[in-house]
Amino acid sequence: MAPVDAPADLIAPPRPAPVPAAARLAYVLAHFGQAYADVPAGAIGPAGSGAPVEVADRTGGFFSQTHPQPGAPNWRDWHGQRVPFFFDDDARPLLTLTPGRAEIAADIISAAFYLLSGWQEYFSTERDAHGRFPYAASVQARYGFVALPAVNYYFDVLKTALAHATGRALPLRRGPGGAPFAACITHDVDSLHGGWGTAARHRLRQGQLPQLLKLLWRRARRRPGPWDNLELVQAETARYGAPSTFFILGDARPAPNGVPNADYDARAPAFRARLGRLAAAGAEIASHGSYGTAHDAARVAGERAALGPPAPRGNRFHYLCWGPARTPGALAEAGVGYDSTLGFAEHYGFRHSYCRPFFPFDFERGRAAGFLEIPLNVMDATLHHPKYLRLAPNELLPALAPMLAEIEKFGGVATVLWHNQNFDPANAANGPRQFHEIMGWLHGHGAAFRTGSEIWAEWPAAQGPGGF
Ligand SMILES: [Zn+2]
C-alpha cells in the first residue's frame, strides 16, 4: 500500500515521453567524454552513417513506446567477463575492425541510454510501500547483474573501437591526484538519541556490569547516548585519511504516514555549532531530504536553506526516496549541486549499471538534469536486515569486494553509507568492525577519499550551466 503522502506520479504511469535518437546519442556520448580523455567529435554514428565507428541500430521502435523493459540481453564475453548486451540480437562478433574503421554489432548506444537514463524506473508502475522503484522489478534483478557496471563495459567497447579507428589512446579518466579511483564515505544522520536499549542489552550479554551501570547513570543524567557520536564517526573515518560527508535531516516532524524523520533539531544553535566544528575538521555537511519531499522543490530548498548559509551543495533523500518523474526536476529547481540517493535499498551494486558520477536524465524535459548524481553503492542496512540481505558478519566484505573491484577497474567512485548508529560496538552484524573491513579494502587499493562536494568540484562538466 502506498503511504498517504506518496506523490501520485510515483504510482500512476507517467505520460509517454519519447526520446529522439539524437538526444539519446548526445546523452550517452556526453558521459563517454567524461569517462575518457581525447574523444574526437563526430567519430561515432549509426550504421550506414559513414562515421569511423558505426554502431548497429537495434532499437526496433523501443524508445517510441512505454514498455519499461526491452527483450532479454545477449550475453557476450568481453576480455574474460560475461556482459549483458541489450538491443543485441546479432550473431556476428561484437567488433569488426578494418583499417581506419570499426563496426559494433550490438546497439550499445541504446543499451547505455536505457540503463543510464533510468528508463525502467520512469515507465514501470511498480512501487514499494515508500513509493520507491523496487529492486525486484529491475532488469538488474531479473538478469542477475546488479554488481556489474554494464554501461562502463559498453564504454570500454566503444573506446576500443574508437582507439582502433582513430589511432588515439583515449585514456580512462581515473580518480583525483592520479589515484586509481575515488571513495566517498557518507553518514545519514537519522537518530542521535536512540540506541540506549541496544547498548544496554549488549553490555548485559557481555557480562559488562560496570559498563551497564555507567550507561544507566548516563541515561538518568540525560547525557549523550550511544548514537550521539558524530565526532567518533569522523575520527574512525579519518583513520584512513578519509573525510566524512554527513547528511543531516532538516525536519524533525514525522511524515503524515508516521515514518520518522530526525529525532534531533537541526536548527538548534548548539547543534549548528557542533556541525560547524565537524566541518572545520574536514567534514562536509549535506542535506538529508526528509521523507515525502522527493517531489517537492520548495521543501528541498527550504531544508537546504535551514542548514545554511551557505546552503549545502549535496542531498540524499531519507529512505532513499526517489520519483523518476519529478525528483530530477525538483532537485535541479532547488539548486542542488549533487545528489547521492541512487542505490537500491535492497541490494548493493549499480542501480543505473554505471560506477561513475553521472547526470540523471530528466524525462519530463527530455534532457540531462543540471546536477551531478554520485550513485550510492552500498548501505549498511542493506547488508544485514530482515527485509534486505541477511549476510553473516564475516560475509560482508567478501560479498562487496568484487563490486568494489569493478569501481576500481573503471576509475569510478565507491560511495558507502554507514549510519552513525552503526558505529556502536553493540552492533556486531553490520557495525564498526565491518565498516573498518570495507575501509581497509578501499585504502589498501589506493582509493582517493573525497567528500561529495570535492567530487562535484573535481568532476568535469559538473559546474557548467545545465550540466553539459
Ligand atoms: Zn535517513
The pLDDT tens digits for 154-172 are: 999 999 999 999 999 999 9
pLDDT of residue 4: 42
Residue 174's CB: how many other CB atoms inside 10 A?
16
Is the pLDDT reported for residue 465 higher than 50?
no
Q: How far is the CA of 1 from the centre of ligand 1 (A)?
A: 21
Where residue 201 falls among pLDDT bands split at 50, 70, 90? confident
Greater pLDDT, 224 or 272:
272
Q: How far is the CA of 384 from the centre of ligand 1 (A)?
A: 16
Greater pLDDT, 215 or 454:
454
Is the pLDDT reported for residue 464 higher than 80?
no
Where residue 444 falls among pLDDT bands split at 50, 70, 90? very high
Q: Who's near 408: CB < 8 A, 6+ residues apart?
A: 180, 181, 414, 445, 447
Q: How far is the CA of 42 from the centre of ligand 1 (A)?
A: 44
Where residue 81 falls among pLDDT bands split at 50, 70, 90? very high
Note the pLDDT tens digit of each residue in 12-65: 445 656 789 999 999 999 999 999 999 999 999 999 999 999 999 999 999 999
pLDDT of residue 463: 56
Q: How far is the CA of 314 from the centre of ligand 1 (A)?
A: 14
Q: How far is the CA of 332 from the centre of ligand 1 (A)?
A: 21
Q: Who's near 200: CB < 8 A, 6+ residues apart?
A: 212, 215, 216
Query: What average pLDDT score do residues 106-127 get?
Result: 96
Residues of the chain with pLDDT > 90: what percent? 78
Q: How far is the CA of 243 from the centre of ligand 1 (A)?
A: 19
pLDDT of residue 14: 55
Q: How far is the CA of 323 from the centre of ligand 1 (A)?
A: 16
CATH 3.20.20.370: which residues of the chain? 176-458
Greater pLDDT, 79 or 389:
79
Q: How far is the CA of 150 from the centre of ligand 1 (A)?
A: 28
Query: What average pLDDT score do residues 180-198 get?
Result: 93
Q: How far is the CA of 113 from the centre of ligand 1 (A)?
A: 30
Q: HEC string of the chain?
A: CCCCCCCHHHHCCCCCCCCCHHHHHHHHHHHHHHHECCCCCCCEEECCCCCCEEECCCCCCHHHCCCCCCCCCEEEEECCEEEEECCCCCCCCCEEEECCEEEECCCHHHHHHHHHHCHHHHHCCCCCCCCCCCHHHCHHHHHCCCCCCHHHHHHHHHHHHHHHHHCCCCCECCCHHHCCCEEEEEEEECCCCCCHHHHHHHHHHCCCHHHHHHHHHHHHCCCCCCCCCHHHHHHHHHCCCCCEEEEEECCCCCCCCCCCCCCCCCCCHHHHHHHHHHHHCCCEEEEEECCCCCCCHHHHHHHHHHHCCCCCCEEEEHHHCCCCCCHHHHHHHCCCCEECCCCCCCCCCCCCCCCCCECCEECCCCEECCCEECCCCEEHHHHECCCCCECCHHHHHHHHHHHHHHHHHCCCEEEEECCHHHHCCCCCCCCHHHHHHHHHHHHHCCCEECCHHHHHHHCCCCCECCEC
Greater pLDDT, 391 or 85:
85
Is the pLDDT reported for residue 204 higher than 60?
yes
Q: How far is the CA of 194 from the centre of ligand 1 (A)?
A: 14
- How high does pLDDT run on average in the chain? 92
Q: How far is the CA of 315 from the centre of ligand 1 (A)?
A: 11
Note the pLDDT tens digit of each residue in 245-268: 999 999 999 999 999 999 999 999
* Residue 415 vs residues 47, 79, 184, 203: alpha-carbon distances, Å: 37, 26, 5, 32
Query: What average pLDDT score do residues 341-348 get?
Result: 97
Q: How far is the CA of 52 from the centre of ligand 1 (A)?
A: 48
Where residue 203 falls among pLDDT bands split at 50, 70, 90? confident
Where residue 120 falls among pLDDT bands split at 50, 70, 90? very high
ω before 16 within 30° of 0 (cis)?
Answer: no
Q: How far is the CA of 257 from the centre of ligand 1 (A)?
A: 16
pTM: 0.94
pLDDT of residue 450: 98
Greater pLDDT, 65 or 85:
85
Where residue 334 falls among pLDDT bands split at 50, 70, 90? very high
Note the pLDDT tens digit of each residue in 288-302: 999 999 999 999 999
pLDDT of residue 182: 98
Q: How far is the CA of 317 from the centre of ligand 1 (A)?
A: 7
Where residue 467 falls among pLDDT bands split at 50, 70, 90? very low
Is the pLDDT reported for residue 131 higher than 60?
yes
Where residue 466 falls among pLDDT bands split at 50, 70, 90? very low
pLDDT of residue 92: 94
Q: How far is the CA of 216 from the centre of ligand 1 (A)?
A: 27
- CATH classification of 176-458, choosing from 3.20.20.370, 3.40.50.10420, 3.50.30.60, 1.10.260.40? 3.20.20.370
Is the pLDDT reported for residue 230 higher than 90?
yes
Note the pLDDT tens digit of each residue in 265-278: 999 999 999 999 99
pLDDT of residue 17: 64
Q: How far is the CA of 340 from the centre of ligand 1 (A)?
A: 12
